[in-house]
């Protein structure tokens, strides 16, 4: 009925209006009207509707209980850029990236990929923040990173 696919119900109600409760009946001039109370029989109407329409229950699956796992604490490691910068100003290396990747601040990481990633981030930070003290050469080191010398 909500989707307006109610042809079966309309035909049922029109077919024998004097026997069904709250039905539509057509007059001689094709005008709809409700039947008189004397023609209404509620029990017959309910039985007729039960015969025409069957309601099927849909089975719903019970919601699954999610057992949430507590995440293990993540060990946060940080690089002390100020200490790196102090050591760079003292040592004045010819290749800042190599110096950073072998520095004690980065040897705390166990994985080589982490060392390369963090040393490159530290390299960029130091070179960009101290551009006046850095001389960028046209040469590249074995990691394909431009060699920067501390002046």
Q: What would the mean pLDDT of 53-58 be, rounded to a whole number? A: 68
pLDDT band, very low/low/confident/very high, at 16 (cuts 50, 70, 90): low
pTM of the entire predicted model: 0.50
Is the pLDDT reported for residue 85 higher than 80? yes
Separation between Cα atoms, residue 19 and residue 34, nearest integer Å = 12
Spatial contact of 101 and 115, defined as CB atoms under 8 Å apart: yes
**In the chain, at which residue ranges do the beta strands (DSSP E only) sit?**
25-26, 32-33, 134-140, 146-150
pLDDT-derived band at 20, boundaries 50, 70, 90? low
Residue 78: pLDDT band (50, 70, 90) is: confident
**Number of Cβ within a 10 Å radius of residue 99:** 20
What pLDDT does residue 86 have? 92
String of b and e for 103-140 (b: at least 16 CB within 10 Å)?
bebbeebeeeeebbebbeebbeebbeebeebbeeeeee
């Amino acid at each position: 009925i909500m989707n307006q696919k109610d042809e079966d119900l309309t035909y049922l109600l029109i077919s024998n209006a004097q026997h069904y409760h709250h039905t539509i009946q057509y007059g001689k001039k094709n005008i709809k009207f409700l039947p008189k109370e004397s023609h209404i029989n509620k029990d017959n109407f309910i039985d007729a509707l039960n015969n025409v329409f069957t309601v099927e229950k849909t089975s719903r699956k019970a919601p699954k209980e999610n057992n949430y796992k507590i995440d293990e604490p993540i060990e946060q490691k940080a690089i002390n850029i100020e200490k790196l910068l102090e050591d760079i100003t003292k040592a004045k290396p010819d290749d800042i990236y190599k110096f950073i990747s072998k520095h004690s601040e980065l040897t705390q990481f166990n994985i080589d990929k982490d060392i390369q990633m963090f040393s490159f981030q530290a390299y960029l930070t130091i070179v960009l923040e101290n551009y006046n003290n850095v001389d960028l050469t046209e040469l590249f080191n074995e990691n394909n990173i431009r060699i920067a010398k501390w002046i």
